[in-house]
Structure 1
Amino acid sequence: MLPSQSYVNISFFQPHAFLMIGIPGLEAVHGWISIPFSSMYTVALTGNCLILLAVGRTPSLHQSMYYFLSMLALTDVGLTLSTLPTTLAVLWFDHRLIGFNACLVQMFFLHSFSVVESSVLLAMSFDRFVAISNPLRYAAILTNNVIIKIGLAIVARATLSLFPVPFLLKRLNFCPNKILLSHSFCFHPDVMRRACADITINILYGLYVVLSTGGIDSLLIVLSYVLILHTVLGLASPRERIRAFNTCVSHILAVFVFFIPGITMSMIHRFGRHLPPIVHALVAYIYLVVPPVLNPIIYSVKSKPIREAMIRMLKRKDQG
């Protein structure tokens, strides 16, 4: 009996598990590749946890700017933990199976943390705009209550945006011979294309989520920096302009680190299907792994208060 004939009577099929490919074409050297990946995950978790501890234990950093930075660090920890278990399982132990429901859960958290990160970066741009355009009322506008409400709104936005996605996938009939995922984690465009059904609704909803979150956020961030630039150019002395703009450098770098790989990955998944699979895999890893690694480095290098707080904390630990 032919494979196609053996499934002819099956009207609806969902796999018990998917098979993750890891890094296509480099399966033979996964052990060596695990070394830089393990190092990056260690740096991401250590760096972001140090920022959280530094802000939490330093009263002088209890300001809106550093509260938003803490949100970014916490989001990066969540984003790192979303991909770490399956990625290292594939690279270390060649454990490629992930259950269908576990895959949907991982996908929900992975994309949710991505939306949260985009929203936090937007909130940080708003923070910088208020600090530069209206410094005298900065503390009065961005009070602790306002920051808590912004944080809750960010989490609610991500949760509500991504909540329908797993259910839209569970309604699909999947192909028994298409259970091989292109990454070592569950990514929505990759999972939905394993289906043997009409995925138009999934594609349209995925596009809606991208445009209504990252798309709008990126446009508003650009608008905020247009307004910031207008305010900075209106300052009297060049020294004041440089000092004001220097407070934005870390955030600008974080925006580039997050949005450029994200936009590249979205474009490749929609228009670059002819590209080699390794290109899709590398861009996805850059988008999901590199920002959590670089953000704490950027802020510890460019922000003197954060750097000094982290050094003091590490010195106290050594002395203890």
Structure 2
Amino acid sequence: MEKILAKIALRTKRPDASSFLNRLTRIRYLIFGREADKGLIYKAFIYLILIDAAYIYLKPVLHMVTTMVKNGSDLLDPSVNWIPNAIYLGNLQEAWTWLKYPQALGLSMLLSCSVALLQTCSCAVAGYAFARLKVPFKSVLFFFLLLTFIVPLQLTVLPNLVFARVTGVLDTIIPIIVPAIFGLGLKGALFVIIYRQFFSTQPKELEEAARIDGANVYKVFLRVMLPLAKPAILVVFLFSFVWTWNDFYLPSMYLSNVETPPLSLGISRIATMLRDQAELSGPSIFTEPISMATTFLMILPPIVLYMFAQRWFIEGVERTGLVE
């Protein structure tokens, strides 16, 4: 490329051939870059991919928000697509009432926060044991841990459901919370693996120095290793919170008869009610806006949580090795 530019500059037969060559070189560096990932063409390609990916994920959310604030005339007007002529909050109020939103939100927050906190603590202990401690038959135990990750939840829910009915804890949140105390529950095995991966990358000199100072295994874990695991703790907590918040299967098994269910189960009940009403009295133009409003009320708390924890969450994902 340099030779071609030099020939072009010489053929111009101008006294400032060298300056012309320098300008062409700068233009080349601007377009292609000094390195493969520094030029405008590469950056334009990357931004094109990012914009396409963002559009794919944001379009359903934008459609949901714009649909739930449309009134009857906007819903019947085919020319109104994205921007309604007027903001109508009646659909949102209707969804709020049907969901019994304050009570359902409180139950969902209690359930998700309890499971997330318990899994964050218990899985940290199990992950540290698998990564650092010399435990007999540790490989066999880790194999069984992987089995709990591989075996579908539907295969074990029936005996758990029978046990919950026999012990009298059915229609309570106890059958969902108790497994999290022992590092089980929803995706518990994955959280243990995340902690194991993080603790395995820490230098052994830290533990050796703590043991020289007289620290036992509990003090090493609590005072040395656990403070270093803040990125993994944040990742596990957010994953556990969001997955428990969005989980429909376990609440439908254990909380099917409660008067005010969690939000994940409440929107399913509202969808059933709307479908029954459509079968009895015919379809309504407000069916879709109310469904969109109930979905928006459910996803709003995780979105707010992610807005505040986004920076630390991304840093935690990188430091725990999930992107490798």
TM-score computed with the length of structure 2 as normaliser: 0.28
Which of the pair has more CA radius of gyration? 2
Taking CA–CA contacts closer than 8 Å with sequence separation of 6 or more, which of the two structures ends up with the larger relative contact order?
A: 1
Query: Structure 1-normalised TM-score?
Result: 0.28
